[in-house]
Amino acid sequence: MTEPLAILQQYWKYPAFRPLQEDIIRSVLAGQDTLALLPTGGGKSICYQVPALCREGLCLVVSPLIALMKDQVAQLKQRGIPAAAIYAGMSRRELDIVFENACNGSYKLLYLSPERLQTDLAFERVKRMQVNLLAVDEAHCVSQWGYDFRPPYLQIADFRQKLLPKTPLLALTATATPEVVRDIQEKLGFGTGKIFQQSFERQNLSYSVLYETQKREKLLDILRNVPGSGLVYLRSRGETKDIARFLQEQRISADFYHAGLSMEERSQKQDAWVSGRTRIMACTNAFGMGIDKPDVRLVAHLNLPDSLEAYFQEAGRAGRDGKKSYAVLLYAPGDADTLRFHLKSAYPDMELVRRVYSALGSFSQLAIGAGLCESLPFDLQHFCLTYKFEQGPAFSALKLLEQEGWIALSDAAGAMPRVFISAAREALYDYQLRHKQADTVTKVLLRAYPGVQRDWVEISLPTLARYAKMEPEAVEQTLLTAQKEGIVEYQPALNQPQLTFTHERVAAENLTIDTERFNFRKQRAEARTAEAIRYAETRKCRSRQVLAYFGQTDTKPCGICDVCTGRNRSEVPEDVFEALERKIMALLKKEKLPASELLAAFSARQQEQVDKVLSYLLDEGRLVEEEDGRLGIG
């Protein structure tokens, strides 16, 4: 066995491990089931990639995020570590080649989406693999207590028991409450396991909640006062474009990012932001996973996320280099109601779910009893127009079908074309001699993608065309012709998300939904939403609130959040302060109220001053805050 530190230094060029990384690696190398709780940016992937290289065989990595899997595989290949990924949208031929290569020892890491674990193809091939470690990324997805439950994760324990009973398991997550930690171990079938948990505390990160109705103007003010790169998280794709345009008009270097962009666009925008050519990225939560940019100085949210887990993960992308950074939530009185509305629409009635499922059968043209693991391009807007569904409720029904394990949705929009030169050397040479254009394309392929004769590679048609001095359409036609001749395997770009049936199609009346599980998840979602609203509306140290949510209750005030620094203390002219205080006290004599309702009782232009008066009165003990977040007279 090669020493972990030697592997780290050889392939990553890092002089030493980060806190807890080596302890986690030693635990799995000793054969122990291990749970690693490391915050965003804590270096989770190193914890399974290094032990995979220490021993013979490969590490099987279960991950729910296609973009993250592909990004990890690309990074590993750049370091000279053979790796591959299997996910929805790949052709049967692609799957065969990747699985066979894995059986033959061609990879050190093989990434699989959880849905793929359930297939006979995966089951039969994994039997033949020499697996040295089973790693489960985003392990909170196995827990119905968590914010991102995915039923296929529940199959992992059974899969492991049947195929890999003696293989150690490493579960990794950045966000888990104490209930979720216990549930992960139970649902993944931990033996005598170990838990390694890094503190969720970020001493360099200043959390702030600013009560604002004019959010754009306040964002602009913040960006002019906080130098460096940043992220602005928004709820919808349209908002990302609007905010980016607004910032550009104010001479701030900004761009937008969401999952509906092509892979080429996403890659270009991401590279520009990581390299510093773009300062601010206005984005949905599709941006950020797996991106290593340590010098982010600001993460701003213009909408309150529906859980503290999601907020902590996104806000945690600021200040990974340890320098002072800011996580700012801009919050208006109506935001809580908006969040409650989204929560209600996320749990549709069963009649709609059955109608959507029935329409899926017609849309996919699959017969009853067919369709297991069939993938098809899926355009939600076209689907809704065809079957006259409202887009929001239909999407919620699809997500419920996914959570119940009937389908899997993957955001593979714009996935790059993929090529594998499958012909033997002699056959390839003969084909090149007979086809001049194919000879040109083949030579460019071999130069630009050295591994193309061993495995599938993602290619850029415009890049190939530029080097080959041809049009992209001509390059694609050359590849399609070569495929017919058995020279290459070519998978064109996927321009739409993919929908996969994870069970044979059944008649809509036979569709089963676990109502007990549905109601439990709904209750948990309501509780998470209430906690997120409480965080925004409670004037207590922001860091302590977050840490208490994740089970760290014995912490001190952070000293750098908006509450601790007194940024909201009274800086209001004395006569204005007294008038506002009189009205606040009069309202609270009638009944105790949440801060958001108090603020709503004042005009928009007064609310910033009211917020400062409230903070001052709370700090002085003249107002008190109840457990439910309502304010009363002290």
Q: Output the domain CATH number for residue 250.
A: 3.40.50.300
Give the Cα separation of 232 and 308 in Å (integer).
17
Residue 411 lies in a domain: no
CA–CA distances in Å: residue 208 to residues 501, 548, 605:
43, 17, 20
Do residues 147 and 77 share a domain? yes
HSE of 520, CA atoms in CB hemisphere, 13 A = 12
Confidence of residue 559 (pLDDT cuts 50, 70, 90): confident
Helix ranges restricted to H, 275-334: 308-315
Do residues 32 and 135 share a domain? yes
pLDDT at position 213, please? 86
Domain boundary pick from 439, 466, 491 = 491
Domain count, the chain: 4
Residue 395 lies in a domain: no
Do residues 166 and 222 share a domain? no
* 34-50 pLDDT tens trace: 999 987 777 899 999 99
Residue 513 lies in a domain: no
**If you ran DSSP here, which 8-state letter would residue 417 be given?**
P
Q: Is the pLDDT of residue 495 over 80?
A: no
Tell me how crowded residue 459 is: count the other CB atoms within 10 A of its CB.
22
Are 459 and 489 in contact, with CB atoms under 8 Å apart?
Answer: no
Q: Domain range holding 9? A: 4-197
* 221-232 pLDDT tens trace: 999 999 999 999
CATH number at residue 626: 1.10.10.10
Which position has the token pair 């065969």? 96
Q: Is the pLDDT of residue 437 over 70?
A: yes
Confidence of residue 196 (pLDDT cuts 50, 70, 90): very high
Are 34 and 168 in contact, with CB atoms under 8 Å apart?
Answer: yes
Residue 389 lies in a domain: no
pLDDT at position 259, please? 78
Do residues 162 and 107 share a domain? yes
Residue 555 lies in a domain: no
Are 170 and 54 in contact, with CB atoms under 8 Å apart?
Answer: no
Give the Cα separation of 8 and 458 in Å (integer).
27
pLDDT at position 574, please? 65
Burial 72-82 (b: 16+ CB within 10 A, else e): bbeebbeeebb
pLDDT at position 250, please? 96
Return the beta strands (E) in 13-73 as ranges: 34-37, 58-62
Angle formed by the axes of helices 308-315 and 542-549, to 10°? 120
Query: Per the structure block, which two tokens stand in for 308?
Result: 């503290």
Span of 384-398, 415-429, 489-503 with lowest mean pLDDT: 489-503
Q: Is the pLDDT of residue 582 over 80?
A: yes
Residue 524 lies in a domain: no
For residues 324-343, average pLDDT: 92
* 395-425 pLDDT tens trace: 999 988 988 888 888 765 446 788 999 999 8
User: Is the model more confident about 117 or about 575?
Assistant: 117
Are 223 and 280 in contact, with CB atoms under 8 Å apart?
Answer: yes
Q: Which residues contact 620 (CB under 8 A, 6 or more apart)?
A: none
Residue 628 lies in a domain: yes
Which position has the token pair 């692609």? 94
Do residues 43 and 174 share a domain? yes
User: Is the model more confident about 539 or about 496?
Assistant: 539
Give the Cα separation of 134 and 319 in Å (integer).
31
For residues 314-318, average pLDDT: 93
Give the Cα separation of 4 and 363 in Å (integer).
51
pLDDT at position 570, please? 47
**If you ran DSSP here, which 8-state letter would residue 415 be given?**
B
Give the Cα separation of 348 and 394 in Å (integer).
9
Do residues 260 and 179 share a domain? no
**If you ran DSSP here, which 8-state letter would residue 463 be given?**
H
pLDDT at position 92, please? 80
pLDDT at position 1, please? 66
Domain boundary pick from 197, 226, 246 = 197
Predicted model pTM: 0.73
CA terminus-to-terminus distance, the chain? 65
* 445-474 pLDDT tens trace: 999 888 888 878 888 888 899 899 999 899
Residue type (1 letter), 395: F
Domain boundary pick from 491, 515, 542 = 491
Which position has the token pair 């079957």? 387
Do residues 40 and 179 share a domain? yes
Q: Is the pLDDT of residue 538 over 50?
A: yes
Give the Cα separation of 149 and 132 in Å (integer).
27
Residue type (1 letter), 469: K
Do residues 254 and 155 share a domain? no
CA nearest neighbour of 488 among 83, 81, 97: 97
Do β-strands 457-458 and 418-421 pair in parallel, antiparallel, or remain unpaired?
Answer: antiparallel
Confidence of residue 568 (pLDDT cuts 50, 70, 90): very low
**Could you give the percent of the chain with pLDDT greater than 90?**
53
Query: Per the structure block, which two tokens stand in for 534?
Result: 């409480």
Confidence of residue 21 (pLDDT cuts 50, 70, 90): very high
